Structure formats: structure tokens, C-alpha cells
Amino acid sequence: MKTSQCIDNEGKRIALFPGSFDPFTRGHESIVRRALPLFDKFVIAIGVNADKRSFMSMEQRKALIEDVFKDDPRIEVISYSGLTVDVAREVGAKFIVRGVRLIQDFENEKHLAEVNRDISGIETILLYTLPEYSHISSSIVRELYRYGQDVSVYLPEGVKLEKI
């Protein structure tokens, strides 16, 4: 790929990090912080799935993520529905960033990356989760929280889940 194909009209490298982030965990935060040096702008895109019942509202998720990165002007948080490649095009992203915890994640992400590249030309960058976060998933955090467990160790520093 030519370098010029990876840079927008203003000379910026823009990445999209899509997910439901329900809730946003230390694993997610780690992926963002590790990928950020590669890009000039980093868009965290919260996907809306009408068929799925959310644990946190879209507004809660967006506010939580914005608070975690409030001191970094390179990060923007948006919500979207539809195809990830469509929102990537809308924000000018030439890259999609995804985190991989398990071998099953890799298999799924590889297939999605190939399809996304086929239909849009957008490249996917996979970052492996750091070992200390590989056991953390939003679904585990939700389950523990529902049963009254303290989940603060799994969330970005200073983040507290509101009673949901």
C-alpha cells in the first residue's frame, strides 16, 4: 500500500476503534493507549445494535470513555449503527483497530478484516491484549456487577459504574 493511501487530505493518519464497549474496560483502554502513537487522530466508535439489550446507555458509555481520555485531543468518541467500514469512511479513517484476546478472536477478526478490506480498502490492525488484561471481557464485568461484585479492578482508573 502506498503511504498516500493511508493518509487523509490533511495529511493525518486516522484510525477507528469500533466496539460496543458495554462497559469500556482496562483492556479496551490498553488497546487505545498502545495504538494511539501510530495515529494522528483516533476515533472510538460505539456501535449501536438494536437487537441487543445494552447494559449501559449509549450516553453513559460515551461519557465514560470521554472522561478516560479527556486530556487527549486526538481522541474522539462517537456512536454509530450500520457497517463499520461506512463509519470509517465518514470519519476519514484508513485503518480499523481491533483487540485480540483469544485465538477465537483472531479467527473472527481475520475474516472481518479480509471482508472489510475487500469492500472498502480499509486495513485492519490487530493488537494483542496484554497478558494482564486477557481475561477481562465486558460480558464478565457485566455479570460480576449484576451479582454485586466490585468490578473496579477491570475498569479504567477512576471509573465507577453507576447503578444500572
14-65 pLDDT tens trace: 999 999 999 999 999 999 999 999 999 999 999 987 777 889 999 999 999 9
Return the residue matching grid coordinates 486530556. Answer: 71
Q: Which of 56, 77, 58, 64 is nearest to 26 (CA)?
A: 64
80-104 tens-digit pLDDT = 999 999 999 999 999 999 999 988 8
Point out the catalytic residue in the list 34, 101, 110, 117.
Answer: 101
Strands 41-47, 95-100: pairing kind: unpaired
pLDDT at residue 11 above 90?
A: no
Q: Is 101 a catalytic residue?
A: yes
pLDDT for 125 equals 97
Q: Is 28 a catalytic residue?
A: yes
pLDDT for 5 equals 56
Amino acid present at 96: I
Q: Which of 17, 3, 6 is nearest to 68 (CA)?
A: 17
Residue ranges of the domains in the chain?
Answer: 10-148
Q: Is 139 a catalytic residue?
A: no
pLDDT for 4 equals 44
Q: Please check whether residue 96 is in contact with residue 18, taking contact to mean a CB–CB distance below 8 angstroms.
A: yes
Please state, rounded to an integer, the average pLDDT across all residues of the chain: 91
pLDDT at residue 7 above 70?
A: no
CATH assignment, 10-148: 3.40.50.620
pLDDT for 8 equals 57
Beta bridge partner(s), residue 100? 128
pLDDT for 9 equals 54
CB atoms within 10 A of CB 127: 16
Point out the catalytic residue in the list 26, 28, 41, 61.
Answer: 28
Point out the catalytic residue in the list 30, 41, 61, 138.
Answer: 138
pLDDT at residue 2 above 80?
A: no
Q: Is 52 a catalytic residue?
A: yes
pTM for the structure as a whole:
0.90
